[in-house]
Structure 1
Amino acid sequence: MANLPRVDITKPKWDQSTYIGRAKHFFVLTNPLNILATSSQLNHAKEIYDNYRAGKSLQSGTTMDDVWRAKYLYDSAFHPDTGEKMLLIGRMAAQMPLNTFITAGMMTFYKSNAAVTFWQWFNQSCMALVNYTNRSGDEPITLQQLGISYVLATGGALVTALTLNRQAKKFPPIIGRWVPFVAIAAANCINIPCMRMREVREGVVIFDSNNNRLGNSKKAAREGIIAVICSRVSMAIPTMIAIPILVDRLEKRGTFKTFPRGPVVVNTVMCAVILTFSTPLGCAIFSQTVPVKLDRLEKNIQEAAKKLSLPPTIGYYNKGL
């Protein structure tokens, strides 16, 4: 243990003040291979992470690379605020394979109302779990709040998709192919704020650089939720805007006449490739731990900061993913 350098392992390996640093961080964090880790591997990673952070002895032969690998495997599976193991389907490492299946389905089977209803319902069911899993803070979300969010988001997505599907028939086919994207964007604008309504009402926890709790900020909560919505929508743009253009052109050229299953194959393969990159790059648009000037926040937080021996001017909060 004495041979290993001492670093703040609770923070990312790369500089989070730059987009490149955040992108490197999220490429490792959202690596789909992380979901293949067994419970014993996750527990072992947690043990290494906890022991290093506490300054305890590590197993002989453990290198700093081993510590960083354990840190990122731990971060990929355990909630940053509660420390609890997250639902597998809700982990960001699961988003590429999960969204590949869902997005390809929505973009392939978008013409009939029955198909639109199924895929939007299935997508919002999964997204409710993702939003719950990646919420900010350590306060529990009630079943009532979870249910309201789910119903509103699913209803919003269905109304948007079915209404636009009817209108899209008046326009070129490519417009109809973009309907799922608009429905997803609308659902994110409903689902995420509803799922995190407690933060809107009570605020998100603000810490200083020494992890002192300064209070809750509603202003920071609103900014964090808007940032998460923008990130989620940006992740969908490359797949749900670009791929339909490609499929539409291939269809016009008659490519799928001899290969009827072509659209689903092209959609699935392209989604897998693009989401591998758009997921971490979308997450990296905004910092997860957000610095904020305290003079922009509520008076009670500013007063709490002034009571410290070295009053900070900058606070931090976890915006969630």
Structure 2
Amino acid sequence: MANKYPPFVFGQPRFDQSSFQGRLRHFLDVVDPRTLFTSERKLKDSVKLLDDFKKGTLVSGVSNKEAIIHPDTGEKIFMPFRMSGFVPFGTITVTGLLLPSQGFAQMIFWQWLNQSHNACVNYANRNASKPTPTSRFVQGYVGAVSAAIGIAVSLNALLQKADKFSPAKKMMVQRFIPYPAVACASTINTVLMRNHELTEGIEVVDDKGNVVGTSKIAAKKAVTQTAITRFVLPAPILVIPPIIMTAIEKTDFIRKFPKMHLPIQAMVCTVCFGLALPASIALFPQIIEIDVTNLEPEFREKTSRQTLFFNKGL
């Protein structure tokens, strides 16, 4: 039991964040869809429990705060844009992206819907130590969605010109087009939606939580690592389901019950999404340690601490 639930340390994640396994177990709590149904009263009780905490072991309710409240603003994240809401609300768009034989309008619609949701998730889970003007959000949103649609349209246009492919092979390749389109667009989406951090910098704190200063170097590292997770995230979601569905489509069951195709595809997408999300965001810790020598020179004059910290965001 001690290995499964290590001793609770106030202000620290339950599991060791220096290892991928520890981060994975931590983010499995953060993305748990059950937290979407946490009542306002239970959330307040959880926050109060943490505020009053002095000693003891981890008790039920601690993960509610991490999954619902933004660590920088202290405010509730809107339900569809929480990490715990990413899978339940995002599965609809993922399923739509993978629908076979899509027309041009359908493809545009699903790419727009997917990147709109991604943009809001990126914004809601950003490092919010500095306020972001609404104009920056709008600019980032327009750029991100335009990039997604542009990439998807370009790839489809290239596919249509590939005369050497048979119709069956074209359809097969078309089912895999969403991955490069979404992966590239999601990466651009992250950079554009968090561009304000790159230009203004983010707050860096010491081990006591005291703000030491604002760093553009830390911001670049935070946005870069988050962008990498967004590039990796769509791979199992958009590559594995087409392989599974291609095999399922050859079975007598689907031939006999063709209406089961969509619900089966939705179930496959949900499972892949649910496994891919915690694994991808666990690639890097949310709270990053950085040596003061790797920050701007003025930080060495502001503190005697050798190691500082910043919130990467999710």
**Alignment TM-score, normalising by the size of structure 1:** 0.88
1:18-68 C-alpha deviation (Å, 9 max, x unpaired): 11111111111111111011222212212212222xx49xxxxxx7342xx
Distance 1:203 1:131, change over 3 A: same
Q: What are the equivalent positions in structure 2 for 1:67-82 lying under 5 Å apart?
A: 69-82=60-73
1:44 corresponds in structure 2 to: 45
1:316 corresponds in structure 2 to: 309
- Identity over aligned pairs, percent: 29
Alignment partner of 1:278 is 2:276: yes
SS of the residue 2:126 aligns to: coil
1:266 corresponds in structure 2 to: 264
- 2:23 and 2:153 mapped to 1: Cα distance? 37
RMSD over aligned Cα atoms: 2.1
1:316 CA displacement: 1.0
SS of the residue 2:310 aligns to: strand
Alignment partner of 1:241 is 2:234: no
1:148 CA displacement: 0.8
Distance 1:174 1:294, change over 3 A: farther
Q: What are the equivalent positions in structure 2 for 1:135-150 lying under 5 Å apart?
A: 135-150=126-141
Alignment partner of 1:102 is 2:93: yes
1:282 CA displacement: 1.2
1:201 corresponds in structure 2 to: 199
Question: Given that residues 109 and 116 in structure 1 are in contact (C-alpha distance below 8 angstroms), is that contact kept between their aligned partners in structure 2?
Answer: no
Alignment partner of 1:126 is 2:117: yes
Partner amino acid, structure 2, of 1:320: G
- 2:257 and 2:155 mapped to 1: Cα distance? 29
Question: Given that residues 187 and 231 in structure 2 are in contact (C-alpha distance below 8 angstroms), is that contact kept between their aligned partners in structure 1?
Answer: no
Question: Given that residues 26 and 284 in structure 1 are in contact (C-alpha distance below 8 angstroms), is that contact kept between their aligned partners in structure 2?
Answer: yes
- 2:23 and 2:260 mapped to 1: Cα distance? 36
Aligned length: 302
Question: Unmatched 5+ residue regions in structure 2?
Answer: 1-6
Distance 1:258 1:275, change over 3 A: same
- 1:256 and 1:168 mapped to 2: Cα distance? 28
Match of 1:163 among 151, 154, 158: 154
Partner amino acid, structure 2, of 1:216: T
Q: What are the equivalent positions in structure 2 for 1:109-120 lying under 5 Å apart?
A: 111-120=102-111
1:252 CA displacement: 5.3
Partner amino acid, structure 2, of 1:284: A
1:165-217 C-alpha deviation (Å, 9 max, x unpaired): 22224342332112212221122222211111121012121112122222122
1:8 CA displacement: 3.5
Q: Point out the more displaced range, 168-177 or 214-223.
A: 168-177
- 1:297 and 1:254 mapped to 2: Cα distance? 61
- 2:191 and 2:277 mapped to 1: Cα distance? 20
Q: Point out the more displaced range, 123-132 or 88-97.
A: 123-132
SS of the residue 1:136 aligns to: coil
Distance 1:220 1:233, change over 3 A: same
Q: Point out the more displaced range, 110-119 or 164-173.
A: 164-173
- 2:101 and 2:301 mapped to 1: Cα distance? 54
Question: Given that residues 152 and 191 in structure 1 are in contact (C-alpha distance below 8 angstroms), is that contact kept between their aligned partners in structure 2?
Answer: yes
**Alignment TM-score, normalising by the size of structure 2:** 0.89
- 2:151 and 2:58 mapped to 1: Cα distance? 48
Partner amino acid, structure 2, of 1:9: F
SS of the residue 2:105 aligns to: helix
Match of 1:221 among 199, 216, 219: 219
SS of the residue 1:108 aligns to: coil
1:256 CA displacement: 3.9
Question: Given that residues 129 and 203 in structure 2 are in contact (C-alpha distance below 8 angstroms), is that contact kept between their aligned partners in structure 1?
Answer: no
Question: Given that residues 111 and 165 in structure 1 are in contact (C-alpha distance below 8 angstroms), is that contact kept between their aligned partners in structure 2?
Answer: no
- 1:21 and 1:123 mapped to 2: Cα distance? 29
Question: Given that residues 9 and 71 in structure 1 are in contact (C-alpha distance below 8 angstroms), is that contact kept between their aligned partners in structure 2?
Answer: no
Alignment partner of 1:86 is 2:87: no
Partner amino acid, structure 2, of 1:49: L
1:125-169 C-alpha deviation (Å, 9 max, x unpaired): 211211111010332222211111111111111111112122224
Distance 1:50 1:110, change over 3 A: farther
